Amino acid sequence: MKLCITEKPSVARDIARILGADGRHDGYYEGQGYCVTWTFGHLCTLKEPADYTERWKRWSLGVLPMIPEKFGIKLIPEQSYERQFNVISDLISKADEVINCGDAGQEGELIQRWVMQKAGVKCPVKRLWISSLTDDAIRQGFNSLQPESKFDNLYYAGLSRAIGDWILGLNSTRLYSLKYSSPGNLLSIGRVQTPTLALIVQRGAEISNFKPEDFWELKSTYREVLFSSPGRFTSAEEAQQALESLNGKDMKVEDVQQKQGRESAPRLFDLTSLQVEANKKWGWTADTTLRLIQSLYEKKTTTYPRVDTTYLSEDLHAKIPEILSAMTPYSPQTAPVLSGKIAKSKKIFDNSKVTDHHAIIPTGQSPSVLIGDERKLYHLIALRFIAAFYPDCRFNTTTVNSTVDGRPFKATGKVITDPGWRALYADTPADSEGGDNNDSDDRILPPFTPGEQGPQTPSLAKKTTQPPKHYTEGTLLRAMESAGKTVDDEALREAMKENGIGRPSTRASIIETLFKRRYIARQRKSIVPTQAGIDLIGTIQEELLKSAKLTGLWENKLRRIERGEYKASQFIDELKVLMDQIVINVLSDNSGSKIITGASQSDKPDGETSGSRKSPRKPTDSPAGATNKPRATRTTRLDQVECPLCGRGHILKGNSAYGCSRFREGCGMRLPFADYPADLTPAKLKKAIARNFKAE
């Protein structure tokens, strides 16, 4: 018997149908020599400190750092999880071959490997590796199953990440909470969370310390066209003198330059650029976009979402016409592309830029199953995909250089001669990627002739230097991607990804965790640090805990582990040494400073929450002897459980699934009882949603 293990029941149903495993049993399907079963995201997690020794159960500075001799895993203690694991374990004991059908990514590999290890798998294991959940993709995947060993480095990278977060998160959180927090309060420290907070705090400090200064720019109007002189004046007197020196003087046109230019279509979406664009257009949080794109993936309308590349693999070139032809709602837009040969451009197809998965694109499946904001997001992806195969936008740029009494002036204008891909966006505002545009660059200039001259009217434009802007979720995601550097160039952005903070799939949840910890707050679209966040970063003296650049280097090592270029054991050993030094340094601090966060010890402590919907549950141990700690509100009714899709409604219980109270307003959130058992208490349902819904 061949056993397929998927990450959730809905995927198991699709695979079972395709394989002909039509017999339904408790926890699995069976037929045609196959059994198909499922997990609920993570069934296993790393052991908590108290699982290793009784000494680590109590929060105490004297036992830090906590470094197990060997890290172990355990089954998450929840009845429905234990019941499903027993089904999987029994099937594994009878299997001749196991097929790992988990999500094709680092976390998906970790989830399934832990389950198989815990169940003691001894038979051969193969890997199903697909980038979409369409029937064709699943069939092709089963026709080209790969050996498990091919993905060993991917697993080692995921394991190293989990262990690294355990070492730094649990130890640092206990260390800083016991040393610097007031009784009953928690200071949450994490490998990615803390340097992200440091970026926000640093930006806040730059804004607070900024001192605006006035300056003046010299302008001149000639033939109803506004010319600008390079440079600026820092004193009003000097600017006025320059202005007066030009009164009554003619402007002379020195030369007129005309150039033809072209602009390529924007790159295809990776997860981060999709989250940035959705935040820019609609103000969506990164977490909202992640949940929506995950839903599109599961409804088979788009490809695997948790990707960090904007390229397609070269073998996809032959399939592009088929995908475009299937996008019938977009026939008017795809017709010009399908009428000719599609070029195999390196700007789109490049195997060297694709690892596990390619960029996010439509699958060609009908989007009729989508509702509400899902449709908006699909439209964004569909247009970006179609635009990639349109011609470049062509334009003429005119630059007029002139002088007045020897002082140089310049005017520029641009005229689009062939809109190319921009024709797809003719009904939408100008692309926001360029930020604030200078209107003078896009105007149409009248004809000018070198040597002509005539009267001009000088003027002064008074301006004030501006502080940097607070991060929005979009710009913060970009900063995390480039380890704090401001990167606008697409090619440079691709190169910086190797040293970014965190992974595309976890950045949204890191931001949400900082909000939950009350280290940051929202001011409309802006993200600002709270006093607790400022105090925490000010207290942390270890650069490796808060430096975006150095944390980016850690991320680079994890990527190198994934490629087989760096040893996982070396990475873990380095973190152990670092943790030893951090403990020594903090215990040596005699400043006596305390930080009040407002985050109680009843909140989840200890470092990162990966934020993907399938993240392992983090340890919830709290300091022994903590008194007067605020208690979290108990969840005893379904109307206390927030809808995980729209975030506005609450959970309702139906005949075969849970739904959202805002279903009449268009929220299509549905939690089948097969995935979320009907007998779960409201509190356990809330936990199950928090743990698993994000991975679906």
Distance CA 58, CA 50 (A): 8
Six token digits for residue 617: 């549950």
Residue type, 174: R
Distance CA 268, CA 311 (A): 7
Distance CA 403, CA 256 (A): 12
Q: Calculate the CA 449 to chain-centre distance.
A: 52
Annotated catalytic residue, options 304, 390, 471, 566: 304
Axis crossing angle, helix 286-298 with helix 373-387, rounded to the nearest 10: 80
**What's the longest Cα–Cα distance across the chain?**
97
Beta strands in 391-468 (DSSP E): 393-404, 407-418, 453-455, 457-464
Q: Is the backbone of residue 41 left (phi > 0), alpha (psi -120 to 50) or beta? A: left
Distance CA 597, CA 535 (A): 9
**Are 10 and 41 within 8 A, CB to CB?**
no
Distance CA 353, CA 311 (A): 6
Q: Please state whether beta strands 28-31 and 34-38 pair in parallel, antiparallel, or not at all (unpaired).
A: antiparallel
- Whether residue 65 has a cis bond before it, omega within 30° of 0: yes
**Are 228 and 410 within 8 A, CB to CB?**
yes
State whether residue 273 is helix, strand or coil: helix
Residue 304 bears catalytic tag: yes
Distance CA 111, CA 617 (A): 12
Give backbone dihedrals phi and psi of 540, rounded to 5 degrees, phi first. -75, 115
Catalytic residues: 304
